[in-house]
Chain A
């Protein structure tokens, strides 16, 4: 891709960018949110047209006007937000959009081929399962298999590790190496330095729409890459006061619930979170973390057990009761649960507080107060938006996450349930969110930090709980915990 320029109203997303992918390499595109990584790849995939510049595929200049053109050139892309039909099966999603076969689907053959591809790349899925029954990690495998099924030789993966747990990341990397060794070219978009160093053959760093430099992992290190990416030196240390927990705020006794698939998702969880404590919950995706978060926020009914908030029985309380008790929730699903796409930044910032003063006066909402509140949070959390009346569907993933964090942290919560709070955030924003969580702890909030990023859990957490198949399999203090021990527990080994 040569001298690519693409601008959107108000921003130049790609500013005279050159990028070269060789066959048989894993090439990382590294950069902060808004650096232009996704825009560049969307151009390659035919979703956007560049204002100027050339694309040369396999030695020939290509005009790519649509994903279909891209696919015909052997280019496949896995988007950050997966694009699957959730009521269809894995196999149906994989063949969706294919020209062949014309009329009669030979599903058995399709199933066999999916099995075979899954085995070959270490990405097993059951082709007959429906998408909604799968974890995020499994859904991503489906997207990758979809590309492999089409025999693409240029694969673009947009922040693929954002959805995965450490063991799954290892499997993904093995699959990527395998694809490269077969002569395919893989573009790996990320802003995680360690991962980029681990898997890539070459790394191109983008900053504000420009390609800053291309390095080999052997020639560089995390500090230098962070510096290139952010444009200033980055600190990797956090200041944290010693742990001095207060009274218990939330207690679960022997809690059991059903998951969406109609199977038990939590099997007898007992847990206490104290004021001034950050409890990290580690686990591989789909082991009951989301259900646990939903229990603690009143969104999911218990089939057995008790919940106490501040000593009061909350077992059959409504989501509103949990909300009013001072429990904040940063949900995993930002678009579907955490925000309302067509409503404005200002309205979304009061989504959970609109009924309380100063935003509500009897039956009316006070939009002056709502707008002022929004302006303040937008600058405090540096949410990038032209104004507070902008519908949130126009915000990027990272900015939407900042908006949700701004809303949940600014409520002066007694307990924050944070599900993957820094997923999709760049280095600078992650640093800021970590500081805010520690600040909340110092002001006496309890924090339940659900994350698959073990570094995050071990640096922020005072204690670490490990969940596996709906049960807590370990509870240790952050000092005792090491990545190795917690990783073993996450994989279901009871040792430690």
Chain B
């Protein structure tokens, strides 16, 4: 350990991570991101205080909140699913691909399966989205469980396969025959769209997402399956010793995380978009990873983390139009939060002390 001016920093592993830090780390991470963000804004000749007050307006106006919630639903669903998947020790980086496949599955039901009674279309689309996302995720899960193939690589690679598949479908067999100049499907019929809460742009998906987050939290903490997932995530050999079926458990984790990402895809094509285009791949699957970690893989904490992230996104869009702040600022901001959370994890696990050492 190097000492500077007669002082040394050393760390000891904490026996108990204090409760204060469990909340302190995410809050402080976001705070620090604001501070560093202010410097970046100032360097771009934007008054940070004015910019932040504009962002905060998002959380104070009805239109701002409804916009934040409408983009929040897919992120919420994805992050909740990832929180469970990560808990099984399965590093699913490919939620973006599972999200796209969910959108594909939902689109297929909306446009290409004939003779469904109109009232059943939306529920079937939701199922189709879930199943497609889960199926897309189960490939890497099987490869890992059976052959030990690293899932970080396979899940990430399947994102690009899914994206190319969407390109193929929207340029080829599923292209809207009426507007052949665009790569995209025809608009969905009204019965294949999520209903909206009158007078707003909010659809019920956010409520469903919140319900799912609460139910999964209960399952993780108090059910047998949740217990099994927690054991498997910590130690596969302890899980085998406990008589837990490893394959079944990580498949279940993957079905939940892939399925919810697929459901998010359905929510987007059936809700705000109303068609399938490759442009729906805006990175919700990657934002979801950050949100899940900011929430400490706790599905309840995912809810406020999502509100924060989607609010920031909407706020940054506002900034872009009013102050000319580039869109990259949002990404920068999210990345800073992520970095601070990861660094904060170190402080949660270790205690740092500055010690006077022998001075010359």
Contact = CB atoms under 8 A, between A and B. Distances in A.
A235 interface: no
Interface string B316-360: 000000000000000000000000000000000000000101100
Interface in A358-381: 360, 363-365, 367
Nearest to B8: A65
B241 A337 contact: yes
B43 to A, nearest CB: 39
A64 B231 CA distance: 38
Of the candidates B12, B224, B231, B243, the one having the most CB atoms from chain A within 10 angstroms of its own CB is B243
B237 A394 contact: no
Given A63-B357, A65-B355, A354-B224, A318 B243 contact: yes
B102 to A, nearest CB: 26
B111 interface: no
Interface string B14-58: 011000000000000000000000000000000000000000000
Contact of B10 (A66, A297, A340, A364): A66
A339 interface: yes
A63 B231 contact: no
A479 interface: no
Nearest to A8: B15
A35 B173 CA distance: 76
Interface string A406-421: 0000000000000000
Interface string B223-245: 11101001100110110111111
Contacts of B12: 47-48
Interface stretch (A307-315, A341-349, A428-436): A341-349
Given A48-B12, A320-B243, A323-B243, A351 B231 contact: yes
B241 A352 contact: yes
A394 B243 contact: no
B222 interface: yes
B224 A299 contact: no
A125 to B, nearest CB: 25
A66 B1 contact: yes
A340 B234 contact: yes
Given A352-B243, A354-B227, A394-B16, A337 B238 contact: yes
A326 interface: no
A interface bracket (residues with beta carbon within 8 Å of B): 35 or more
B238 A355 contact: no
Nearest to B16: A394
A47 B241 CA distance: 33
Contacts of A320: 243-245
Contacts of A262: none
B240 A364 contact: no
A264 interface: no
Interface in B214-270: 222-225, 227, 230-231, 234-235, 237-238, 240-245
Contact of A340 (B8, B222, B235): B235
A336 interface: yes
A394 B222 CA distance: 23
B242 A351 contact: yes
A68 interface: yes
Contacts of B225: 363
A166 interface: no
Interface in A320-335: 320, 323-324, 329, 331, 333
A280 interface: no
B227 A347 contact: yes
A351 B231 CA distance: 9
A217 interface: no
Contacts of B238: 336-340, 351
A363 B223 contact: yes
B224 A336 contact: no
B84 to A, nearest CB: 16
A365 B242 CA distance: 15
Nearest to A354: B227
A364 B222 contact: yes
B243 A337 contact: no
Nearest to A355: B224
Contacts of B222: 364-365, 367
A363 B240 contact: no
A343 B230 contact: yes
A79 to B, nearest CB: 14
A265 to B, nearest CB: 17
A319 interface: yes
A17 to B, nearest CB: 20
A318 B12 CA distance: 41
A299 B227 contact: no
B295 to A, nearest CB: 17
Nearest to B218: A364
Nearest to A363: B223
Contacts of B241: 297, 299, 319, 329, 331, 337-338, 351-352
Given A338-B238, A343-B230, A351-B238, A365 B224 contact: yes
Contacts of A347: 227
Nearest to A46: B10
A355 B225 CA distance: 10
Given A318-B243, A352-B242, A364-B222, A337 B227 contact: no
A172 B355 CA distance: 38
B1 A65 contact: yes
Contact of A342 (B1, B223, B234): B234
B53 to A, nearest CB: 42
A343 B15 CA distance: 14
Contact of B357 (A65, A337, A364): A65
A69 B10 CA distance: 12
Contacts of B227: 347, 354, 365
A297 B241 CA distance: 8
A65 B10 contact: yes
Nearest to B3: A65
A329 B234 CA distance: 20
B266 to A, nearest CB: 26
B10 A360 contact: no
A423 B231 CA distance: 25
Contact of B15 (A69, A299, A367, A394): A394
Contacts of B224: 354-355, 360, 363-365
Contacts of A341: 234-235
A340 B227 CA distance: 11
Contact of B358 (A49, A63, A337): A63
Contacts of B243: 318-320, 323-324, 352, 355
Contacts of A9: 15
Interface string B199-224: 00000000000000000000000111
21 contacts: A9-B15, A49-B355, A66-B1, A66-B8, A68-B1, A69-B1, A319-B240, A333-B237, A337-B237, A339-B238, A340-B230, A340-B231, A340-B235, A343-B234, A347-B227, A351-B242, A352-B242, A352-B243, A355-B243, A363-B223, A367-B222
Given A340-B234, A363-B224, 12 more contacts: A8-B15, A65-B1, A65-B355, A297-B241, A318-B245, A319-B240, A333-B237, A336-B238, A341-B235, A351-B241, A352-B243, A365-B223
Q: Give 9 closest A-B pairs by Cβ, nearest first.
A: A320-B243, A323-B243, A340-B234, A337-B237, A66-B1, A351-B242, A337-B241, A340-B238, A319-B243
Interface of B: 1, 8, 10, 12, 15-16, 222-225, 227, 230-231, 234-235, 237-238, 240-245, 355, 357-358
